[in-house]
Amino acid sequence: MEAIKDLINFLSYPKWSFTLSLVVFFLLVRSKKLWTRRGGLIMLVAAVTLFSLSLLDPNFRSVVAKPDNVPIVMMVFLVGFFLWLALYKGIRNDELIERGEPTFEKSEVEDKIFTWPDLVFIEFICMILLMVGLVVWSILLRAPLEEPANLAVAPNPSKAPWYFLGLQEMLVYFDPWLAGVVLPGLIVVGLMAIPYIDTNPKGNGYYTFKERKTEIILFLFGFLVLWCQMIVIGTFLRGPNWNFFGPFEFWDVEKIEPLVNVDLSEIIWIKVLGVGLPSHWLPREIFGIILLALYFFALPIVFSKTRGLRRYYEKMGPPRFYTGVGLFLMMMLLPIKMYFRWALNLKYFVHIQEFFFNV
Amino acid sequence: MLKKIQKSVTQSQVWKSIFRVGIPTDNRKRALAMLGNVVLHLHPIKVKKSGLRMSYTWCMGGTAFFLFLVETITGLLLMFYYRPTVEYAYFDMVDLREVAAFGIMRELHRWGAHAMVIAVWLHMFRVFMTGSYKPPREFNWNVGVVLLVLTLLLSFTGYLLPWDQLAIWAITVGSNMARATPLVGTEGPGSALLQLGGRKLIHVGSDARFALIAGRTIGGGTLIRFYVLHCVGIPFIAAFLIAVHFWRVRKDGGISGPV
């Protein structure tokens, strides 16, 4: 038992768990068997069993059973359930489309039903059930109230509200101006841009997977792998000093992780070229600047000429294509930086402390 | 006997003045019931059968709106007890917990808030998975994204109000980010460029964080600022945009469905 726990603790460290989640994500979106009733049931039983067994562990319980963490556990299960539901319905519809039959929604869309009583009663019953659920939850679980506010005593760890913990987790890899301001801003801008970038006329108003594969995979990658997973890590697996702790690990305040992160400029000028760092920031950071410029400006042009992607370029037109690719590259900056950190202990690609411009 | 009482009540002038249609028994009355009621008339008279299914809508937009109403009502009741000052805030919370009648208002408000954030995310997830943001609903998706941001801001501003350690440190961590805003944060890239006659325009007493928390550190000024935003400012904007959101659902052809 202890060996299994140790293994899970080890595998949950971001460099392994993130890699695993990437593999699992691509297996999930390629699988068809999982998105059936049977597959859903198996996944549900597996998740509930694993969760219940984990609850036996006191360290796991102490983190998960914190009153404010209960809704996040609920969220994980809800997101899992609705992911299954959406893909289940999408793949059933894809089968119907393949056979040349109307989708499930299409066969019912012409059928107009009186709002009274059908919709009104559905809403009424939902409201009652929600209210009952909320009242029971409120009676069972008291809202926590800690000691009076005191700016002189910082709790360790100090955490932002849970829905921002994905952003706080990004602070491990990026400076606050990116993790706390620019990237969240771009998430909002990117979400708003979706309907204007996505020109695929199919899949409007019904579940499908095949007809919108690229869009769905990109969205799920951002929503599940980056947003939700980072929140789970930030909430359940980050302890004192924002150190990482496996799910069955004790939150030890004394835990020290040696951090010797280096900048790209140091790697190139000192390690590779063997000369000292230039004193002016421009020659010092020139390699990082070139790298970023290539990433953000040359790569989109390369994409527009790549064989598999050129059809998107032609279909969408340059403005949509470049906006979409730009947002995509911004999103991918996070996993890319993560892997550079894990592989090379890279701190910054570009480190211009003079202007607080650190990437 | 019961029938008689029922009849005399529903035939009375008072009853009839309130409920003009009564319980609908035919299609004409079903339509009139929807048209004559200010709440129900948010809905059309008839809806697509495909859009009625819970497996299609997940009921998440409705859940989010319902939770918004729960938050409004419980929040209003909490406002009777709570004073947003450094002297009283925390002790009013203790009183709310120990002595106030219906002592679960704070629980309802807090768990409802968490649930609302989750419901809004799931609603967005559903709308994406059904492609319901596609024309003609692009603008309404945008209104929805703004409502999502407002939901998070509502929750964020409310987080400070208990004035306990969790509250003040969560807001400290969150608002420290504002310090790094490009151009208008002291530690943000480019802020050093904003100078006038050699004097820095952006410093700790004038940057974005200062504007957010009304001071150099979180204190009484932050509390009243967040309180007003939480109870009046953001709910007002959110309520307006919810109205726009619902209006546009109707104007863009009702709940989405295949064409």
Domain that holds residue A311: 264-358
Same-domain pairing of A289 and A188:
no
From the list A151, A160, A191, which residue is nearest B218 (CB)? A151
Tell me if B170 and A158 make a contact (CB, 8 A cut-off). Answer: yes
Query: For residues B225 and B210, is the Cβ–Cβ distance under 8 A?
Result: no
**pLDDT of A260:** 83
Same-domain pairing of A136 and A35:
yes
Same-domain pairing of A186 and A88:
yes
Tell me if A207 and B130 make a contact (CB, 8 A cut-off). Answer: yes
Same-domain pairing of A275 and A201:
no
From the list A116, A131, A161, which residue is nearest B30 (CB)? A116
Among chain B residues, CA nearest to A77: B118
Q: Which residues of A touch B48 (CB under 8 A)?
A: 108-109, 111-113
What is the average per-residue pLDDT within A222-235?
95
Q: Which residues of A touch B53 (CB under 8 A)?
A: 108
Domain-by-domain residue ranges, chain B?
56-251
Domain B56-251 in CATH 3.40.50.720? The answer is no
Among chain A residues, CA nearest to B127: A205
Across the A:B interface, residue pairs with CB atoms under 8 Å apart total: 274
Same-domain pairing of A101 and A223:
yes
pLDDT band at A3 (very low <50, low <70, confident <90, very high): very high
User: How far is CA B64 from each of CA A138, B70, B112, B159, B253, rounded to the nearest angstrom?
Assistant: 18, 10, 10, 19, 21
pLDDT band at A355 (very low <50, low <70, confident <90, very high): confident
From the list A109, A118, A163, which residue is nearest B152 (CB)? A163
Q: Is residue A55 part of a domain?
A: yes
What is the percent of chain B where pLDDT is above 90?
72
**pLDDT of B47:** 94
Cis preceding-peptide flag for B136 (omega within 30 of 0): yes
According to DSSP, the β-strands at A357-358 and A351-352 are antiparallel
pLDDT digits (tens, 9 = 90+) for A273-305: 988 889 899 999 999 999 999 999 999 999 999
From the list B43, B49, B108, which residue is nearest A108 (CB)? B49
Same-domain pairing of A283 and A318:
yes
Q: Which residues of A touch B193 (CB under 8 A)?
A: 355
Query: For residues A204 and B134, is the Cβ–Cβ distance under 8 A?
Result: yes
- pLDDT of residue A164 exceeding 90, the answer is yes
Task: Report the b/e string of B195-227 with b at 16+ CB within 10 A.
Answer: eeeeeeebeeeebbbbebbeeeebeeebbebbb
Residue B200: beta bridge partners? Answer: B195
Helix (H) or strand (E) holding A330: helix A318-344
**pLDDT of B86:** 95
User: How far is CA B183 from each of CA A153, A285, A330, B188, B232, rounded to the nearest angstrom?
Assistant: 31, 21, 20, 6, 29
pLDDT digits (tens, 9 = 90+) for B67-118: 999 999 999 999 999 999 999 999 999 999 888 877 889 999 999 999 999 9
**pLDDT of A148:** 95
Same-domain pairing of A334 and A216:
no
From the list B33, B48, B169, which residue is nearest A116 (CB)? B33
Query: For residues A84 and B58, is the Cβ–Cβ distance under 8 A?
Result: no
Sequence-ordered list of residues with C-beta below 8 angstroms from that of A58, at least 6 positions apart, any chain: none
3-class SS at B61? Answer: helix
Same-domain pairing of A216 and A336:
no
Q: Using CA atoms, how far apart are residues B62 and B40, in angstroms rounded to an integer?
A: 13
Same-domain pairing of A205 and A335:
no
B5 CA to chain A: closest CA distance, Å? Answer: 25
Tell me if A355 and B163 make a contact (CB, 8 A cut-off). Answer: no
Q: Is residue A208 part of a domain?
A: yes
Interface of B with A in 114-133 (CB under 8 A): 114-115, 117-118, 121-122, 124-126, 128-133
Q: Is residue A25 part of a domain?
A: yes
Q: Which residues of B touch A86 (CB under 8 A)?
A: 125-126, 129
Does the CB of B94 have a partner CB in chain A at under 8 Å? yes
**pLDDT of A149:** 94
Q: Using CA atoms, how far apart are residues B122 and B110, in angstroms rounded to an integer?
A: 19
Q: How many domains does chain A have?
A: 2
Task: Choose the final residue of a domain: A212, A242, A272.
Answer: A242
Q: Is residue A251 part of a domain?
A: no
What is the percent of chain A where pLDDT is above 70?
100
Tell me if A116 and B40 make a contact (CB, 8 A cut-off). Answer: yes
Same-domain pairing of A39 and A94:
yes
What is the average per-residue pLDDT within A309-331?
94
Weakest mean pLDDT among B108-117, B211-220, B233-242 = B211-220
Query: For residues A288 and A265, is the Cβ–Cβ distance under 8 A?
Result: yes
From the list A114, A147, A148, which residue is nearest B46 (CB)? A114
- Tell me the ipTM for this assembly: 0.95
B105 CA to chain A: closest CA distance, Å? Answer: 8
**Whole-number CA gyration radius for chain B:** 24
Phi, psi of B83 (to 5 degrees): -115, 120
Among chain A residues, CA nearest to B119: A75
**pLDDT of A1:** 82
pLDDT digits (tens, 9 = 90+) for A40-64: 999 999 999 999 999 999 999 999 9
Best residue of A69, A110, A192 to probe chain B, by most B CBs closer than 10 Å: A192
**pLDDT of A303:** 94
Same-domain pairing of A224 and A269:
no
Q: Is residue A249 part of a domain?
A: no
Secondary structure (DSSP) of A4-56:
HHHHHHHHTSHHHHHHHHHHHHHHHHH-SGGGSHHHHHHHHHHHHHHHHHHHT
Q: Is residue A259 part of a domain?
A: no
Task: Choose the final residue of a domain: A208, A242, A276.
Answer: A242
Q: Which residues of B touch A193 (CB under 8 A)?
A: none
B116 CA to chain A: closest CA distance, Å? Answer: 10
What's at A200, amino acid-wise? N
Interface of B with A in 151-180 (CB under 8 A): 152, 155-156, 159, 162-170, 172-174, 176-180
Same-domain pairing of A183 and A328:
no
Residue A262: beta bridge partners? Answer: A346
Tell me if B166 and A103 make a contact (CB, 8 A cut-off). Answer: no
Q: Which residues of A touch B172 (CB under 8 A)?
A: 151, 158
Token representation of residue A291: 């790298």
Among chain A residues, CA nearest to B89: A148
Query: For residues B238 and B150, is the Cβ–Cβ distance under 8 A?
Result: yes
Tell me if A143 and B106 make a contact (CB, 8 A cut-off). Answer: yes
Token representation of residue B175: 């608002």
Residue B195: beta bridge partners? Answer: B200
What is the average per-residue pLDDT within B151-160?
96
Higher pLDDT, A261 or B125: B125
Q: Which residues of A touch B41 (CB under 8 A)?
A: none
Q: Is residue A97 part of a domain?
A: yes
